[in-house]
Amino acid sequence: MNILLWVLQALAALVYAASGVMKVFMFDQISKDVRSFDVLPRQAWMALGIVELICTVGLIVPGVFRWHPALTVMAATVLAIESLVFIWVHARHREIPPIILSGALGLLVAFIAYGRMVLKPIF
């Protein structure tokens, strides 16, 4: 279970790091063809990107250094809640593929949070 959780944490960290970098540094390129980016102001998207980058660190660093491992659970929980925001944003424009992707990523990080809190905590 520990190995599975580490693999999932690494995959989630890669996906959310890429997403955060795009929202913070490449917003103009990624937002021009997606209607749902108009739902929130640019500053909100940038803030969400920064949250994703911080949580990416939180998914990996506390476990590697065995330093405040509860931060991993918190980071995964924040990302799961953020995915609900994205589902809401995409649902307003009936964008089905992004809803499915956000839902799948939300379930992934929710499982990581549960796994690190209940199934195989990092000590």
| pLDDT, average across residues 59-73 | 92
**Residue 122 clears pLDDT 80, i.e. is over it:** no
Domain extent for 105: 2-119
Cβ distance 72 to 116 under 8 Å? yes
Q: According to the model, what pLDDT value does residue 27 have?
A: 85
Q: Give the DSSP letter string of 47-100.
A: HHHHHHHHHHHHHHHHHHHTS-THHHHHHHHHHHHHHHHHHHHHHHTT-HHHHH
Confidence of residue 110 (pLDDT cuts 50, 70, 90): very high
Number of compact structural domains in the chain: 1
In this structure, the dihedral spanned by the alpha carbons of residues 23, 25, 28 and 30, taken in order and rounded to 10 degrees, is: -50
Going by C-alpha positions, the residue among 1, 121, 7, 3 that lies closest to residue 62 is: 121
pLDDT more than 70, % of the chain? 100
Structure tokens of 93? Answer: 């424009």
Per-residue pLDDT tens over the stretch 11-32: 999 999 999 999 999 888 877 7
